[in-house]
Amino acid sequence: MHVLTGHKDHSSRRSSKASGDDSRQDSNSVDDETVVEPDSKWLLIVVSSSPIVLSHIISQLRPGADLSRVVLPTFILEPRSMLERITNFMAHPETLLPMPDIDDPVQRFVSVVKFYLSGWHIKPPGVKKPLNPILGETFTCYWDYPDHTHGYYISEQTSHHPPKSSYFFMAPEHNIRIDGTLKPRSKFLGNSAASLMEGIAILRFMNRGKSRGGEKYILTQPNMYARGILFGKMKYELGDHSFVRCPEQNLVANIEFKTKGYFGGTYNAIGGVIKNEKTGETLYELSGMWSGEMTIKNMATGKKELLFNATHARHTPPITRPLEEQGDRESQKLWYKTVVALKEGNQDVATDEKTRIEDMQREEAAKRAESGREWQPRYFRAVQGGPGGQEEGEEDLDWILNANIDGPTSDAKVKQILAMAPIVKGQHASQQGNAAQRGQQPQQPQQHQQLQQSQQVQQTSLPAQNAQQQFGGHSDLIDLGQGVPQAQFAPPQRPAQQQTMQGTYTSGPGIQAPLHPEIGEPIVRRDTNTGAVDEFVDAEEP
């Protein structure tokens, strides 16, 4: 089981009072609980079948047991995948976008802490867990910001056992990049279940700092708890220690998400301090509730100010491509029937559809084992950590986007991102996987631009397909740095900006990608060092 987040099961909420765990109840936190009443079909099955079904469930739930393989009733499922749920992290652009423009390093760090704390309130009410992504599942989306800039998100399930969800986010015009891998480890704790949120996220300001890629912030997550999973009211809590650290500025925020005790305390409370790690000086004190008002106290002046108020905060959900443009392995299309059934309260169909997908995953794993093939992610590669490695010190990421997004301008970075995966409307996924088709120019957010020239190249085993187009009469090679063919699209532009686009085909050592037989034109590759241009054509069949 992964993160347990909430949505009230309206079909099972009545006025009758559930037993158990009432001592932990808080009158101001009903949005974080689910009451399972006798009109719940699952509970009726347990009651009617009595100890047989109940003992089967309990037999899976020994204290300390790993819940990732435990079958749980579908009524506690949130109707979206974990890969989509991660986007909560970037859903407050009003806290996200201003950060890199703050000159004072301490205030810039405070703004990062504010951004970090602003997203925890985003969840449907009650206690739910997102759908466990299957291996190779992907989810992409973007945000259309009020200043007509955009943020882009690419994620993939890079491991199933243990589960690892890897993601990439960038707002190129605002010099913000986030890389992360979420590695939830679930445990049964009696009448509670814990999701221990291992893994890190690395936030970078590309216009700041002296480190490679920009000023770096390392973020961890609190653990998540579902109370009352066997009896009583199900309650959602965040708990334990997390931190935000900026090694370059010697700043750290140690944050405690406090769980409510049986005899005192309150739900959803936080506390913490911001310190200078080099001098040991405490600069600020944090307090409040992650679901309400959070305050920050300046320890030098004693002044206390509001940091963020989540009570009525409205987040900005991301935009996704239509289902008909998505591939079968993309989250919303993959889980579509399951999600519809969950929203309709049809637990039988939801269970059948969820089981069908899980059975498919098991069959794929068996075939790989039989053939001796090792699975590799489509969009991500292993982190090159260790002394002298490209990502030294970032080993806890495990996986990172398999492309260098390092263009000299924000527009160049956008083109590199859109070359990696289909994200915006008009980018289709091919039948072979989540690679963009080349039959049309992607419709940009708020705008549809005409494709000047396009070619289609299909291949079955690479993370993205490739295109060759004409841009201003000049050749332009995007160096993705991994020797992997990629696709290139025109980036979304600000209104009144018009730009054509161009892409080239790059091939890495040992990779033989077939040329499209219907095009009949050569694929062009330009050497990044010498500028020499090579043309490749398929050999004629004998």
What tens digit of pLDDT does each residue of 249-273 get? 999 999 999 988 776 678 899 999 9
**Per-residue confidence band for 46, with pLDDT thresholds at 50, 70 and 90:** very low
Query: Is pLDDT above 80 for 42?
Result: no
- DSSP, collapsed to helix, strand or coil, labels residue 346 as coil
- How big is the CA angle at 405 (ends 209 and 471), to the nearest 5 degrees? 130
Q: What is the pLDDT of residues 309-351, one digit of tens each?
A: 999 899 999 999 999 999 999 999 999 999 999 999 898 899 9
- Residue 115 phi, psi dihedral angles, 5° rounding: -60, -45
Q: Which helix (H) or strand (E) holds 287?
A: strand 282-289
392 or 444, which is more confident? 392
The DSSP element (H or E) to which 84 belongs, if any, is: helix 82-85
Q: Which domains does the chain have, with CATH numbers?
A: 63-420 (2.40.160.120)
Q: Which residues of 48-67 are buried (b: 16+ CB within 10 A; e: fewer)?
A: eeeeeeeeebeeebeeebeb
Mark out the alpha helices in 274-423 (DSSP H runs). Answer: 331-334, 336-344, 347-371, 410-420
Residue 190 has pLDDT above 80, yes or no: no
Tens digit of each residue's pLDDT (9 = 90 or more) over 483-542? 333 444 444 554 443 333 333 333 333 333 343 444 444 444 555 555 555 544 444 444
Pick the residue with more confidence: 301 or 125?
Answer: 301
- The string of pLDDT tens digits covering residues 378-389 is 999 999 988 888
Rounded to 10°, the helix 41-49/51-60 angle is 110
408 vs 386 pLDDT, higher one: 408
Give the pLDDT band (50/70/90) at residue 32: low
Q: Which position has the higher pLDDT, 129 or 144?
A: 144
Query: What is the predicted pLDDT for the residue at 13?
Result: 33
User: What is the crossing angle of helices 347-371 and 336-344, to 10°?
Assistant: 160
For the stretch 440-489, pLDDT in tens is 344 455 433 433 333 333 333 333 333 333 333 333 333 333 333 344 44
Q: What is the pLDDT of residue 428?
A: 87
Band (30; pLDDT cuts 50, 70, 90): low
- Give the list of residues 6+ apart from residue 288 with CB closer than 8 angstroms, or none: 269, 270, 294, 295, 307
Kindly state the DSSP code that residue 525 receives in the 8-state scheme: E
Q: At residue 207, what are phi and psi to the nearest 5 degrees?
A: -100, 10
Q: What pLDDT score was predicted for residue 530?
A: 52
Q: How far apart are CA 507 and CA 483, in angstroms?
A: 6
Please report the pLDDT score of residue 90 as a whole number: 93
pLDDT at 324: 95
What does the mean pLDDT of the chain come to? Answer: 75
pLDDT at 157 over 60: yes
> Is there a contact between 428 and 422 (Cβ–Cβ < 8 Å)?
yes
- Which pTM value belongs to this model? 0.73
